[in-house]
Chains A and B, each alone.
Chain A
Amino acid sequence: EAGVTQFPSHSVIEKGQTVTLRCDPISGHDNLYWYRRVMGKEIKFLLHFVKESKQDESGMPNNRFLAERTGGTYSTLKVQPAELEDSGVYFCASSQLEASPGNEQFFGPGTRLTVL
């Protein structure tokens, strides 16, 4: 079974440009999460999809970030326009639909974003 995949693995862009990150969850996982780790800080929650619906987007830093999950399969996270403080590693995770507290979240390898 394939794990969570993310694309690209690295992205280097200039301030003001747009970047789109993609996440493919494990097949059959209805829950999809985005997290971010900025330099020297802990991994922070960004948002949570259940199928195609945004369940919780309380961690999104501002309106320059837009996440979508059309069709309830893969998800994209767009940053427009990118700022220097957006640099970090963006992780995607997925889990099965069962709403149990112990439901394991499987993480992808992350996308390292550098904004110059």
Chain B
Amino acid sequence: QKEVEQNSGPLSVPEGAIASLNCTYSDRGSQSFFWYRQYSGKSPELIMSIYSNGDKEDGRFTAQLNKASQYVSLLIRDSQPSDSATYLCAVKNRDYKLSFGAGTTVTVRA
């Protein structure tokens, strides 16, 4: 079983729609959860972090965490063409290293 699994892509959404990304993790001791955005050939860039159950909103992004279900998600509202990228779910354990999912490629159609 992989440590972090993401819904398989690619995900194509029309401009203005909501993009929904899902992620599950296997280690119940995981403490911190992150969403990174990576444009092709660029470094992963942190866009959201969440540590407690519930929702966390930042602009057009909302992260949701459910530790009981070992599930974390990212919603992108009012998707823009500039949101087209690969989104990486990452989980940090007690030893501070990140475990990543394989990523979901999102394409926003103008």
Partners in one complex: yes
Binding site for B on A (CB under 8 A): 3-4, 31, 33, 35, 41-45, 48, 56, 59, 91, 93, 99, 101-110
Taking the closest CB of chain B, its distance from the CB of A93, in whole angstroms, is 8
Where the two chains meet, the residues of B that have a C-beta atom closer than 8 Å to any C-beta of A are 2, 4, 31-32, 34, 36, 41-46, 49, 51, 88, 92, 94-103
| B31 with A101: CB separation less than 8 A | yes
Q: Which residues of B contact A3 (CB under 8 A)?
A: 43
Are B46 and A101 neighbours in the complex by a CB distance under 8 Å? no
Given known A43-B88, A101-B31, A101-B51, contact A48–B96 (CB-CB < 8 A): yes
CA distance A107 to B4 in the complex (A): 19
In order of increasing CB-CB distance, the 4 nearest A-B pairs are: A101-B31, A43-B100, A107-B43, A101-B32
Other A-B pairs beyond A43-B100, A101-B31, A104-B49, 14, CB < 8 Å:
A42-B4, A42-B102, A45-B97, A45-B99, A56-B97, A59-B97, A93-B98, A101-B92, A102-B32, A103-B96, A104-B46, A105-B46, A107-B43, A109-B41
B88's closest neighbor in chain A, by CB? A43
Q: Which residues of A contact B44 (CB under 8 A)?
A: 43, 91, 107
Partner of B97, one of A42, A48, A91, A107: A48
Specify which chain A residues have a CB less than 8 angstroms from the CB of B92 in the assembled complex. 101
Q: How far is the CA of A59 from the CA of B99 in the complex (A)?
A: 11
Give every chain B residue within 8 A of A43 (Cβ-Cβ).
44, 88, 98, 100
B31-A108 in contact (CB<8A)? no
Chain A residues near B4: list those with CB within 8 A. 42
10 contacts between A and B (CB under 8 A): A31-B96, A33-B98, A35-B100, A42-B100, A43-B44, A48-B95, A93-B98, A107-B45, A108-B43, A109-B43
